[in-house]
């Protein structure tokens, strides 16, 4: 069987490699997850919504629907984007997606030709890097500091990269670092990119999981030229398995997504879009989000507190205001992938950070998840991990 060149460019996921390393091991405390806590899915409410939906809609819930998406859900999202997310838009701007991951694959198909350059934050979401890679993208990374992407570096990269085609960023509680950009950084970023003919993909699956500080404008809200393709998702606030997400972009891009989607999967499942809509019309999403925020805030704060107490002071860590992850930086020269062997032997798992970079060689970083661990596991797990690190530092 001869596969396309694109298939040869797909890279094995570093996350799956860790999952294999811990498979079958009893009693592990895993900080390696990348999932929202299933105990926080609003199961009972979803059941009631499903019952009402089936009663009212019958066979319609199982039929084909429009490629662009289920009408009432599009209306709900248009309203929420305008009134809660501060993004002026109409239905013309929106197209439903089967997960925001589909939006990343579509951005790759729509915008990337062989040899085009994709600019990402350093590090970035490996699922995005892997979505862009098969289309022949080359990558340039721009560092981030505590306030977000470093503007001077971005300006330099843009000025010296005529083939820069797409900039992929996660301004809210980034996967993997948990960092969020400041208002000033968002404004400066838009000022700089507006001088170039580049598409900005603003990936925002974690924005609603802000448990500290104030909500800041999306890049799409600051976009005067229509160059931002915003991706939103219900995966982290409702259910990841329903695969309900959306793009909000210029009418031209939203139309292109719809056309491409028709060739890709015809439509996102009518059943889960409709169920999402029934849930949203019967229950208070914002109240549900607040419940999630309270739990994640406690877990994140406990993790930071334990890190302060048990990790050698040479280890740097982020202190996120939302999202699902925090990021560790061990002293230069240490190899978090090698240390993982010792950690796993001691019953702890994490994700070595190297696979979140579009290039090889950054071996001293770690992604830690705080949404899938209970308080006791955080206390115990961080203490044990601290002992493992102390052997190296």
Ligand X SMILES: Cc1ncc(COP(=O)(O)O)c(C=O)c1O
Q: Which residues bind ligand X (CB under 6 A)?
A: 34, 99-101, 125, 127, 170, 175, 203, 205, 233, 235, 240, 245
Backbone dihedral region for residue 24 (phi beyond 0: left; psi -120 to 50: alpha; all else: beta): left
Q: How far is the CB of 247 from ligand X (least distance, A)?
A: 11
Q: How far is the CB of 287 from ligand X (least distance, A)?
A: 22
Q: How far is the CB of 239 from ligand X (least distance, A)?
A: 9
Cα dihedral across residues 276, 281, 285, 286: positive or negative: positive
Nearer to ligand X, 13 or 161 (CB): 13
Nearer to ligand X, 235 or 339 (CB): 235
Nearer to ligand X, 98 or 336 (CB): 98
Nearer to ligand X, 158 or 245 (CB): 245
Nearer to ligand X, 98 or 388 (CB): 98
Query: What Cα–Cα distance (Å) separates residue 104 from each residue in 135, 245, 246?
Result: 12, 12, 11
Per the CB < 8 A criterion, the answer to whether 23 and 366 are in contact is no
Per the CB < 8 A criterion, the answer to whether 189 and 223 are in contact is no
Strand-pair category, 164-169 with 117-122? parallel
Q: What is the DSSP letter of 32?
A: -
Contacts of residue 292, Cβ cutoff 8 Å, sequence gap at least 6 = 36, 40, 209, 237
Nearer to ligand X, 180 or 315 (CB): 180
- Nearest CA to 189 out of 161, 148, 159, 129 is that of 148
- Nearest CA to 310 out of 199, 227, 389, 221 is that of 389
Nearer to ligand X, 33 or 306 (CB): 33
Q: How far is the CB of 100 from ligand X (least distance, A)?
A: 4
- Residue with CB nearest ligand X? 99
What is the spatial order of strands in the sheet that 117-122 belongs to? 94-97, 245-248, 228-233, 199-203, 164-169, 117-122, 138-145, 148-149
Q: How far is the CB of 154 from ligand X (least distance, A)?
A: 19
Per the CB < 8 A criterion, the answer to whether 371 and 35 are in contact is yes
Q: How far is the CB of 62 from ligand X (least distance, A)?
A: 23
Retrieve residue 298's tokens: 């406690």
Q: How far is the CB of 345 from ligand X (least distance, A)?
A: 28
């Amino acid at each position: 069987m001869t596969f396309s060149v694109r298939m040869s460019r797909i890279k094995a996921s570093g996350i799956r490699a860790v999952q294999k390393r811990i498979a079958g091991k009893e009693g592990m405390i895993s900080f390696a997850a990348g999932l929202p806590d299933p105990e926080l899915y609003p199961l009972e409410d979803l059941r009631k919504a499903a019952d009402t939906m089936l009663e009212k809609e019958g066979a319609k819930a199982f039929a084909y629907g429009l490629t662009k998406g289920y009408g009432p859900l599009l209306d709900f999202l248009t309203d929420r984007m305008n009134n809660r997310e501060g993004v002026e838009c109409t239905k013309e701007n929106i197209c439903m997606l089967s997960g925001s991951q589909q939006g990343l694959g579509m951005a790759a198909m729509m915008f990337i030709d062989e040899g085009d350059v994709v600019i990402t934050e350093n590090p970035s979401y490996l699922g995005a890097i892997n979505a862009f890679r098969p289309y022949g993208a080359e990558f340039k990374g721009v560092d981030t500091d505590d306030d977000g992407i470093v503007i001077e570096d971005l300006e330099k990269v843009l000025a010296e990269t005529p083939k820069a085609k797409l900039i992929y960023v996660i301004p809210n509680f980034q996967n993997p670092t948990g960092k969020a950009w400041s208002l000033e950084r968002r404004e400066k970023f838009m000022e700089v990119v507006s001088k170039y003919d580049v598409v900005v993909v603003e990936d925002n699956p974690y924005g609603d999981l802000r448990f500290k500080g104030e909500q800041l404008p999306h890049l799409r809200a600051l976009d005067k030229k229509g160059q931002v393709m915003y991706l939103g998702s219900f995966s982290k606030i409702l259910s990841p398995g329903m695969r309900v997400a959306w793009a909000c972009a210029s009418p031209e891009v939203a139309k292109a997504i719809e056309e491409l989607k028709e060739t890709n999967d015809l439509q996102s499942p009518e059943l889960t879009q409709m169920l999402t809509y029934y849930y949203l019309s019967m229950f208070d999403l914002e109240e549900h989000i607040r419940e999630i925020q309270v739990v994640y805030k406690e877990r994140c704060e406990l993790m930071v507190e334990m890190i302060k107490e048990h990790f050698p002071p040479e280890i740097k860590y982020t202190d996120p205001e939302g999202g699902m992850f925090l990021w560790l930086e061990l002293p230069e020269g240490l190899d978090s992938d090698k240390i993982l062997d010792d950690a796993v032997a001691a019953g702890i798992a994490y994700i070595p950070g190297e696979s979140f970079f579009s290039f090889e060689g950054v071996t001293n970083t770690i992604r830690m998840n705080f949404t899938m661990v209970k308080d006791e596991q955080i206390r115990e797990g961080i203490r044990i991990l601290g002992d493992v690190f102390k052997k190296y530092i």
